[in-house]
Every structure is written in C-alpha cells, then in structure tokens.
Chains A and B, each alone.
Chain A
C-alpha cells in the first residue's frame, strides 16, 4: 500500500509528451473527487487547440474547464490553465489570470502556477511534474517543497521527454519519483481518502 497524505489541491504540470499521462490520471480520478485539480500544460501559441475536449472525452465523469478570471476554485473540479495566460490562485481561493511576460518561454508557466498555489495551500499542496523538454517546473517544485507540500515527478525513464523532470530531480532531492501507473494510483487514492 502506498502512504496516503491529505492534500487540499492537486496541481499537475506537463509539457511535451505529457498528455497521455494526464489522461490516465484523469481516468483514474474518483467520481467523488473532493479536491480541486489544476492542470498546466504547455501548448502551442495561437493554435486553437481542443484540449479541454480531448480531456473531456477521457474523463467523462468530471468536467474539465478553463477557468475565467476570479472564478472560485472548487473541490471536485478539474481546471485547465487557459492558453496564453499565467494561472494564479488568490488567498480567497479564486483564480486570477495574468498576461505578463513568459517564463521559460511559456505562458502558462508551470513555475508560476505551482508557486502561486503553494503560497495559498502551503503544506496541503500536491504537485505533479510530468514529461517535457523544458526547464519550466523546477522552481515551482522547489517552492512547493519549501512550503512543506509534496511533489511527485514522473520517472524520467518512462517520460517521452525526460529533461523537465530530470531538472527537478537534480535540484530537489525530496521529490518522489513514480512511474505513470504509480502516479495514477496515488492520485486516485488522494481523491477518495480525503473525505
């Protein structure tokens, strides 16, 4: 059995090669999910991608939406960071969107969302970092850990693009390295055992 900790929020960051893992995680979520799940993915700019729909068909039970500015962050909802904005969370637990400079050539940036969530949820944050060919995410992982949250990263050996998780593992020894199956299982437990 894997140890189960209580988390008040799950935030997932992924780049190139992460979509299948995100899909598997969403498939594994319990219908009685009672924490918010926030997904930050690097997507191509100005391509009107159908990402919410891709995930929607995979996770029929729970709707995936792109939050609007000042929308409340609700348990049991899955949110996908909209393209071209950074996604932040305020102390009062609502989203703020931010159109400032790109971070690691990315907007949304994983670092920005991870850090903002750690500021609000502190030790109750569960961060997940997945496949990618970018440096984004490492600072955010470090920040979550500094705030006593927990971080799981995809095992680089299983990642289509291992660079992003490798950076995080090199810099932060406290991260837990899991295969996609272990990630799916852990996250499924969070959502059911947190009641």
Chain B
C-alpha cells in the first residue's frame, strides 16, 4: 500500500506547469523537478486531493485557489541570522567596504517573511550604516511579503535567534531589537524604516536598480541550472562594479556559466564579488 495519500508523476507535473504558466503567467518550468514534485505532493496532501487531475480541476476553476496554491508551493522556511558564520563574514568582510559608498543599496531577492532582511538591518545598524542604506526586499509570494511588512517574528523563535545572533558576533542585547507582544516579537520600527518590500519574480521580472550587495540565499537551490544561470546574470547586471553577491551556504557558482564574472570573497560562506 502506498504510504502517500497523493501521487503525481513527472509528466503530470509538467502538464500542470504548462497550465499554470498559460493561465496565470507564473513560470515554474525552470524549477528543479525533484523538489517541485515534493511541493506538489504537499499542496495535494494539504488540500486532501488524491490525483493530479483533482489539482488541475481545482486550479482552473478559481483564481482564489491559485493564490492559495502559490503560497503553498514555494518553500518559505527562513530564520533570523540563519548560518551565523555567514553573518559573521558579512560583518568582517563586506560591511566595511559598503561604508565607502555615500548611499548603500542592497537587494534581498527571495526574502520570504523578512527574517534575513531584519538580520541584515541589525548588522548595518550596529555598523552605523543603516541610515544611509536602502534595502529592497523582494519575493514572488505576496503572502510572504504581507507578513514581512508587519515585522512580527514568532516569539518562541527568539531564543534560537538570540543564540544565532550571538554566534554571528553580535554582542549587544538582542532583546533591544524587538518588543514582545502576545505571541509575537515586533522588530523595532527604526530597523524597518529603510526597507521596501515588493513583489518581484526572478523568472520573469528584470533589473530595477543598481546595488552594492545582493543577497539571494536558498532560492537558487529550487531552480534548474539553466534558470540559475539566467538569474545570476540578472544579479551580475544589477550589481555595481565590485558589488557583492551572497548566496546560501550550499549554493555554488561553480556549476553556473557566469562563474568567471565573479571572484570569491569568502568561499565557505558563499560571498562573491563582481569583477571590475
């Protein structure tokens, strides 16, 4: 007996992807199939659907259904100061260089619910740079952005985040950065003032500004190589000369065609710099 409630084949997945692209304009065809299959299974399990046919019917029937689908199909898991070693490297190797710019522009692509963005804002604040920084934080998923705009973290996470913060080299009182209320921790408004949250789809939307630092962490893992190449080219175009690109800890430029346009700043923490 199959343990799963829902089953979907790669062929059915591809058919659904074409349908979604045609009807709703969201193009997931360049995403990694192994993880998309799992996401579609999750969508179907959550909605108690058994077959790909059910899902097809559900999606074509109602735009509202698609909104729910979009929220569920992307992996939205995130944390503040996730990979403390990465933030430590940013403190030590990137922040001081950013300080030489009169206005600093940063892009967080695939920011999910904002945890990574608020972490960066804290680093900039501690370096005295936040006031002259403009952070653009974008995501494909509007539900994530709505949450991010509220700036409220789940309170039960704050213990872990405090630990992460300390591991990243932070030595202030982390509790000063938020106010606890009910079950949430509201990130202080001053930390959020210079952040703009906006929808941007890395697959279909283009360049919109020039940045000194682009963070795109744990987003490219969901893309196939070809799409990774395109998106990294978009980042390359969007970076100023000698601008920084930060990827997730397990993401590599090694398997992309544009690797020669960057040089490593910190290989372990996946921080690169655009060549001049």
List chain A positions with a Cβ less than 8 A from chain B: 46, 66, 68-71, 82, 85-86, 88-91, 94, 96-101, 112, 116, 119-120, 138-139, 142-143, 146
Contacts and interface: CB of A to CB of B under 8 A. Distances in A.
24 contacts: A68-B252, A68-B254, A68-B255, A69-B252, A70-B225, A70-B255, A71-B254, A85-B250, A90-B32, A90-B33, A96-B34, A96-B221, A97-B250, A98-B38, A99-B75, A99-B77, A99-B218, A100-B75, A101-B77, A116-B38, A119-B10, A138-B3, A139-B3, A139-B4
Given A68-B251, A88-B35, A98 B75 contact: yes
Contact of A69 (B10, B39, B42, B251): B251
Contacts of A85: 221, 250
A97 B218 CA distance: 9
A52 B248 CA distance: 20
B250 A88 contact: no
Nearest to A102: B77
Given A96-B34, A97-B251, 20 more contacts: A66-B250, A68-B254, A68-B255, A70-B225, A70-B252, A70-B255, A82-B250, A89-B34, A96-B32, A96-B35, A96-B221, A97-B250, A99-B75, A100-B75, A100-B77, A101-B77, A119-B10, A119-B37, A139-B4, A142-B2
Contacts of A139: 3-4
B228 interface: yes
B220 interface: yes
A69 B3 contact: no
Nearest to B252: A68
A82 B250 CA distance: 8
Contacts of A143: 3
A138 B4 CA distance: 12
Contacts of B251: 68-69, 97
Nearest 5 interchain pairs by C-beta:
A88-B34, A68-B252, A70-B255, A100-B75, A96-B32
B221 A99 contact: yes
A22 to B, nearest CB: 21
Contact of A70 (B3, B75, B218, B228): B228
Contacts of A66: 250
B3 A88 contact: no
Interface SS of A by simple majority: mixed
Contacts of A82: 250
Interface string B24-57: 0000000011110111001000000000000000
A1 B7 CA distance: 39
A46 B228 CA distance: 28
A118 to B, nearest CB: 11
Nearest to B35: A98
Contacts of B252: 68-71
Contacts of B218: 99
A142 B39 CA distance: 20
Nearest to B76: A100
A89 B222 CA distance: 12
Contacts of A146: 2
Contacts of B2: 142, 146
Contacts of A98: 34-35, 38, 75, 221-222
Contacts of B228: 70
A97 B221 contact: yes
B211 to A, nearest CB: 23
A116 B34 CA distance: 7
A99 B78 CA distance: 9
Interface string B221-253: 110110010000000000000000000101110
A116 B251 CA distance: 19
B40 to A, nearest CB: 12
B77 to A, nearest CB: 6
A82 B75 CA distance: 18
Interface in B1-23: 2-4, 10
Interface in B181-229: 218, 220-222, 224-225, 228
Nearest to B225: A70
For A82, A91, A99, the residue with the greatest tally of chain B CB atoms inside 10 Å of its CB is A99
A119 B34 contact: yes
A125 to B, nearest CB: 14
A50 B159 CA distance: 25
